[in-house]
Chains A and B, each alone.
Chain A
């Protein structure tokens, strides 16, 4: 199996962020976006292809978790928090 290229990692990163923004719960949404950004940034200088592949595989599993939990959150969504309509949600 070919090692993950920079383009593939970036695609995965964008897919995870896109999916995370669909969490209906404010706290889950902000956490996921923040954690993904910080996580990818923290590992951006990893050179060992085996380690990169391990990280990519974990990220793919996490993407699956995010997809399922976003969906469940939408099925059981409730009212927004008091701060959600005040300003643009930053992380």
Chain B
């Protein structure tokens, strides 16, 4: 909250101070980012600093929050934003027919990525809506003891992969419905709804280099899984989700799924190498760094590290040239440490010093190296200023200290 307020003040000051410029048109936040002054704190008065060099954007290392559009996805979407603007539910003219054809093609692309039948894919506005539809199924249950297991395929804070196939097998044998929120997993690790006995799955467009505002829910047909519609109206999407299907967005989701299917192996190999590089280089230069999450069952692109004796928010502010997050964006407004870290038994002080590094399809080796360099530099600097660190260096066991009340 403090961080965001500071950015807002800085943005207003900068845009007020710099007059109309003959620079390239920019709608981005004009940040005063200088990489020449490693010792400087955040500038106190941005309006007074003269324009001495180009304004530069930070590196993007927060792919768990959202991903950029793949150019192939935008290319697929644009015709439907320019000329092919028909409503896919219009049955009586070519505009409707071509839009419907695109929608069904996208449905097939999504289905193919997860081993499903296209009739089992319902388009929604995103994984959140998909989750709500799937979980509301509890209320539509026929038998009084029917229940639902819902598990995230890949956790968005620490990147841990759940044993989906095992859970699916258990649920299937106990006749319990199995839902998984696969937003962070679709297109990144191989998923097959039949091999893994998944009954319901949530898919998010903007986590797989597709557009924001669209997703899908997979609903098994054999054996039939009955869900109740959240949104009623004209009966679109087999009555499970009324509302005009947004053709440009679903075309984007379909294209993103198709690209993901083609690129999964290549991306996974590269991201694994970059993740290894980031972790190794940080850990060999800094002591007392802990990686959160089981390293065996882990998606490489989501790295959550705790830097002991350093406060997470202050490290984030220091790393102002890199877009990062400490834990999940959904909970970033609260002061509480991450519930995920608490659940895996992380000490509370370590939970407050966690940073999440996201590596994706477009991340480069240079970006990883720069992030590592800055991270090491600022952790060292912050630790120098920390009295707790000083005590640890002197051999004092912090757990033995009796803190007095003032």
Contact = CB atoms under 8 A, between A and B. Distances in A.
Nearest to A75: B25
A45 interface: no
Nearest to B24: A77
Interface residues of B, number: 31
B57 interface: yes
A86 interface: yes
Interface stretch (B234-242, B364-372, B398-406): B364-372
B71 A82 contact: no
A50 B249 CA distance: 34
A44 interface: no
Contacts of B30: 79
B71 A83 contact: no
B75 A68 contact: yes
Contact of A81 (B26, B58, B72, B74): B58
Interface in A50-91: 62, 65-66, 68-69, 72-73, 76-87, 89-91
Given A65-B71, A68-B75, A69-B71, A82 B33 contact: yes
A11 interface: no
B35 interface: yes
Interface in B26-79: 26-28, 30, 33, 35, 54-60, 68, 71-72, 74-75, 78
B321 interface: yes
B84 interface: no
Nearest to B33: A82
A40 interface: no
B71 A86 contact: no
A85 B54 contact: yes
Task: Report the contact-size class of chain A (Cβ under 8 Å from the partner).
Answer: 20 to 34
A36 B58 CA distance: 26
B72 A65 contact: yes
Contacts of A84: 56
A42 to B, nearest CB: 9
Contacts of B389: none
Contact of A65 (B75, B362, B363): B75
B60 A27 contact: yes
A82 B68 contact: no
Contacts of B33: 82
B274 to A, nearest CB: 12
Contacts of A27: 60, 68, 362-364
Contacts of A26: 364
Nearest to B262: A58
A72 B81 CA distance: 14
Contacts of B54: 79-80, 85
Nearest to A66: B71
B203 to A, nearest CB: 23
Contacts of B266: 35, 38
Given A78-B57, A79-B56, A90-B366, 19 more contacts: A26-B364, A27-B68, A27-B364, A28-B362, A38-B266, A65-B75, A66-B71, A68-B78, A69-B74, A69-B75, A72-B74, A77-B25, A79-B30, A79-B57, A82-B321, A84-B56, A85-B56, A86-B35, A86-B370
24 contacts: A26-B364, A27-B60, A27-B364, A28-B71, A30-B362, A35-B266, A65-B75, A68-B78, A69-B75, A72-B74, A77-B24, A79-B26, A79-B54, A80-B54, A81-B57, A81-B58, A81-B59, A82-B56, A82-B58, A82-B59, A83-B366, A84-B56, A87-B366, A90-B366
